[in-house]
Structure 1
Amino acid sequence: MIIPLLILIIIGTLITTASALSSLLSLYFEIRFWRDRKNTNRLINDSNYPWITVIMPVRGLDQNLRNNIASVLSQDYPGRRNYIFVLDSEDDPAYGIIKDLVKEFNVKISVLINRGRSKGEALAFALDHVASDVVVFVDSDVLVHRHWLRDLVSSLINGSGAATTYRFYIPLRRLSLGSLLRASFNMIGITAMQNPVARFTWGGSTAVWRRILDKWGVRDYLPYYLSDDYVITHFVHREGLAIDFVPESLVLSLEDIDIREAFTWSVRQLWYVRVYGFRGFLLYAVSYTLYAITLPIVISLSIINTWFLALGLLPFILGVIKDYVRISSIRALDQFYGINITRRYSILLALTSILNVYFSWLAIIKTMFTKSINWRGRVFTVIDAVRLMREKPLG
């Protein structure tokens, strides 16, 4: 009886210690990232900004669509800029909103109809109409500040092959647990962006040199992949250039959502990772499993010694501190973030990181057994994704 108990204590101590050390390292790297970011000089002469084309695929009505599109069009960008909106049909409810907004802005705007099935097909269709030096991809569910384009493109001028950012979720009209859980889960992506090895070109807000897209024939590959992030990331790496993360261009998504919808959304995001980056998915699974089993282990061991409970709670406390450091750093980037991300929301979101450990862990488990996803009314299966990849493997 003593030996099995001793083994349990040793294993439990090792797992708990590993979890605590992992959280401590994560907090250290978070603080270091934002400290180093303050010392980055991104000033560029206005005359050096290249001609850009902003491409936005649209399907259906996002909750804040009119304001989102208006913010993307209202840019303080020194260079020449064009806009392309791609829809499936004139019958799309977003079509009328876009046509009305086009009349309000003095920039070149094209509204194209592509009767395709996937986002990749829409992007490929739009690229056939691009002649600019830089292409910027942006999603229809994001709200941006006036210097979003300027900050994003500055990274390209400084030598990167692509400049990307990520999203930050905030509620539109009402704060709910579903909104908090999705926003907390979503910060996995910001963690990946902070790491140059894990970084990818997020299709919701990315700028890339058109010469790279043309050289590698990216438009020919996009219709065969459900993740445009995966395709563009691959070819920027093939070009041997860096992908720069630009938190100064972080976009906001203002939406209301319940817990069930948040869980479905999270599974869909993980499904893409599972299909196109399985090693990354395994890393998520191992990391969250480690955190998820820590609490029940220390509760069991606290019967022997209450110090185990204190050690087991440490990873969760450090996780709350790390998220609060991150959110506070984002709020300090620009008045736009300070106004939209309130201090109360910052505190609640940081505390939600505790629940998110189990929310994300359950989403990972569910994703392992999910064979298909529904993206804006279109159903895609793992078989669909694999078949398409085999038809056009990345060179």
Structure 2
Amino acid sequence: DDSYEFVAQIDADTIAHPTWLRELATALQDESVGAATGNRWYMPDRLSWGALVRYAWNAAAVVQMYCYRIAWGGTLAVKTKVFRETDVLDKWSHAFCEDTMLFAVLKRAGLRVAFVPSLMMVNREDCDIHGFFYWVRRQMLTARLYHPAWPAVVGHGLITTLGPVATLALACFGVVNQDNSALAWSVAGLLVYQLGVVAMMPPMEWAVRRIVRHRSEPVNWLSAWGMVKVLLAIPLTQSVYATALASALWLTRVDWRNATYDVRGSWKIRLHEYRPYQPVESERNTLSL
């Protein structure tokens, strides 16, 4: 139907504010834009280790998604002319996800993905370490299958993982061999690196809080003890992420929302098993995967 100019979608666990659709539509007024997107930001009500690890990882992921123009399906609008003038519908019918591939599809059509800063959408749900691992592994799988910046994602993961590991190895070498110089330099290097990672987060948190506060949503989720826990969660985040990234490199079968899929290639996704949803009573009914 040519009377519709775009199609918008939102995740079931995302709460849209009153101007959500208008903000997407405004971004699409630019003729060079084929799709407009926001991104997720976590402000969990419960400061569990899993939730804080996910918060720390996502803070870094938001930067990468912006730089690589990776769309987020949780808040996404696509111009209908994209459906008419490209093969995106055919690709969606054979793909594992709908959002990550948009960068390549739009680029071939001379269009781009526009990020809308005011559409940072808050998720306040909890998760555990186990759930985070499988969730972030799926995120890496979609990048592997559909985004040309996948080698850069892997390179970044190697640098952020092997750097601290190599520094720790040098520190152990210094202790074993009583080499105070090696020990001092390695500890100093590790501290500088970790402080650099930590320093990135407050400005981003402050910027998102300004956006969320403007929508009259609560933002004071992080207590003083919570800030300490975030600092402690960063090394854990790096470890779990490295493991998930390594696993995603060769992943050929994945579970997602009560279904198991065989991944034989970017456009060769097959349903292996489907398990109908069964409600489970739980005191922690805000757990998010």
Corresponding residue to 2:42 among 149, 169, 174: 169
Aligned residues of 2:4 and 2:80 also touching (Cα < 8 A): yes
Structure 2: runs of 5+ lacking an equivalent: 271-289
Deviation, 1:240, is 1.1
For residues 308-323 of structure 1, what are the structure 2 equivalents within 5 Å?
Answer: 308-323=186-201
Deviation, 1:280, is 4.0
Specify the alignment match of 2:284 in structure 1.
none
Measured against aligned partners, the alpha-carbon deviations of 1:232-255 in whole angstroms (never above 9, x if no partner) come to: 322221221232111211112232
Corresponding residue to 1:339 among 215, 218, 224: 218
Specify the alignment match of 1:209 in structure 2.
79
CA–CA distance in structure 1, aligned partners of residues 146 and 91 of structure 2? 14
CA–CA distance in structure 2, aligned partners of residues 375 and 337 of structure 1? 33
> Does structure 1 residue 288 correspond to structure 2 residue 160?
yes
Structure 1: runs of 5+ lacking an equivalent: 1-128, 390-395
Measured against aligned partners, the alpha-carbon deviations of 1:109-164 in whole angstroms (never above 9, x if no partner) come to: xxxxxxxxxxxxxxxxxxxx895111112111212322222222221114422211
Aligned residues of 2:37 and 2:75 also touching (Cα < 8 A): yes
Specify the alignment match of 1:157 in structure 2.
29
Which amino acid counterpart does residue 37 of structure 2 have in structure 1?
T
Change (3 A) 1:282 1:274: same
For residues 164-243 of structure 1, what are the structure 2 equivalents within 5 Å?
Answer: 164-172=37-45, 174-195=46-67, 198-243=68-113
Specify the alignment match of 2:283 in structure 1.
none
Corresponding residue to 1:251 among 110, 118, 121: 121
CA–CA distance in structure 2, aligned partners of residues 226 and 255 of structure 1? 24
Which amino acid counterpart does residue 218 of structure 2 have in structure 1?
I
How many residues get paired? 258
Identity %: 24
Change (3 A) 1:223 1:337: farther
Q: Which has the higher helix share?
A: 1
Which amino acid counterpart does residue 258 of structure 2 have in structure 1?
G
Corresponding residue to 1:328 among 206, 226, 232: 206
Specify the alignment match of 1:304 in structure 2.
180
CA–CA distance in structure 2, aligned partners of residues 348 and 224 of structure 1? 44
Q: Give the root-mean-square deviation of aligned CA atoms.
A: 2.7
Deviation, 1:285, is 3.2
Specify the alignment match of 1:145 in structure 2.
17
> Does structure 1 residue 270 correspond to structure 2 residue 143?
no
Aligned residues of 2:59 and 2:204 also touching (Cα < 8 A): no
Change (3 A) 1:259 1:219: same
**Higher RCO (Cα < 8 Å, 6 or more apart):** 2
CA–CA distance in structure 2, aligned partners of residues 150 and 266 of structure 1? 30
> Does structure 1 residue 353 correspond to structure 2 residue 234?
yes
Q: Aligned to 1:206, what secondary structure does the other structure show?
A: strand
> Does structure 1 residue 135 correspond to structure 2 residue 7?
yes
Change (3 A) 1:184 1:176: same
Q: Aligned to 1:289, what secondary structure does the other structure show?
A: helix
CA–CA distance in structure 1, aligned partners of residues 71 and 268 of structure 2? 23
CA–CA distance in structure 2, aligned partners of residues 133 and 327 of structure 1? 34
Aligned residues of 1:162 and 1:242 also touching (Cα < 8 A): yes
CA–CA distance in structure 1, aligned partners of residues 192 and 110 of structure 2? 41
